Amino acid sequence: MRIEAYSQIQSIYQPKAAQRTAPTAKTGSFMDNLQISSMGKDIQTAKQAVAQSPDVRADIVAPIKAGIANGTYSVSTESFADKLLEKFQASVI
């Protein structure tokens, strides 16, 4: 067994000190720049239009409310049952 070989191997695996770099001098001034694409602008315009539009379409809801209040609004039981079964079958699948 060669002891000097062990010390050579140990010197290979010893951690080396981290080298520190000197801070660099800042030259010039840097500014961040943001550019929004035309698609991004279109999406923003669409979001604003949706936010400004009402959640309920009064022109459709008003006649239904009036029919309910008068007692003249009726729902087809067959149509209601068909739609109910469609939703049930869609949730089962």
CA dihedral 82→87→92→93, nearest 10 degrees, is 90
Q: What is the pLDDT of residue 1?
A: 53
Distance between start and end Cα atoms, the chain: 74
**Joined tokens for residue 27:** 């030259």
Instruction: Please give the C-alpha separations between residue 55 and each of 42, 46, 58, 65, in angstroms, as whole numbers.
Output: 21, 15, 9, 16
pTM (predicted TM-score): 0.36
For residue range 12-38, list pLDDT tens digits in order.
Answer: 666 666 667 777 666 667 788 888 788
